[in-house]
Amino acid sequence: MVCAPALLNFPDPIGLPPTRIPFHRPVAPEDFDPTHYLIWRVRAAENNVYLALANWDGDWHNTHANGNSGIFSPACLTYPWSEVIADEGEPILTMMTIDTREQRTGRRSSTHPLNYAPGDVAGSLTGELAYDIRDSIPGNVARGKPMLRKRMPYWYLDLVRKDL
């Protein structure tokens, strides 16, 4: 989970009018949705994290903030989204139940006894290693980090270098 306090007035959410295109699974509400394209929902899904954002709503020292606080889930492919968006204008406590257990097994960890030893040969003529692909794919979207291998940590020092 990533928690972020903020004082931002951008980007504003973009609404989505109703569509007449039938989908085999719901992807949006049937009526006009004023917060359909909300950047925080997209960022939570892109990074496979739960994002709790506390954004100020109102004016402060010549700065206007647009609110849109909430808790956003990494799973946003089907509607209704599992998220909580705070009502603007009133101080409120926002809570959400988050389950990070494996969805296939219901356990906190995906570790289970393997039917093979790592490094065993499967017995085929090609000599491939014995493994089950399901052992490497997390059953919970918050546990999977497919973009982690695409990060380039050798650029990180340039981001924090003081002599720029």
Classify residue 123: in a domain, yes or no.
no
Classify residue 80: in a domain, yes or no.
yes
Which pair of structure tokens corresponds to residue 123? Answer: 């017995």
Task: Give residue 158's domain range.
Answer: 1-100+140-164
SS3 135: helix
| pLDDT value at 77 more than 60 | yes
Classify residue 3: in a domain, yes or no.
yes
Task: Residue 10: count other Cβ atoms within 10 Å of its Cβ.
Answer: 7
Classify residue 19: in a domain, yes or no.
yes
Classify residue 131: in a domain, yes or no.
no
Q: Which of 2-16, 48-62, 73-87, 97-111 has the lowest mean pLDDT?
A: 97-111
Task: Count up the domains in the chain and report the number.
Answer: 1
pLDDT band, residue 67 (cuts 50/70/90): confident
pLDDT band, residue 51 (cuts 50/70/90): very high
Classify residue 85: in a domain, yes or no.
yes
Q: Are 69 and 75 in contact (CB under 8 A)?
A: no
SS3 107: coil
Over residues 69-73, the mean pLDDT reads 91
User: pLDDT of 83-137, one tens digit each?
Assistant: 898 877 777 788 888 887 766 655 555 555 556 555 555 555 555 555 555 566 6
Classify residue 117: in a domain, yes or no.
no
Residue type for position 15: G
pLDDT of residue 132: 58
Classify residue 62: in a domain, yes or no.
yes
Decide: pTM greater than 0.75. Answer: no
First to last CA, the chain: 32
pLDDT of residue 14: 79
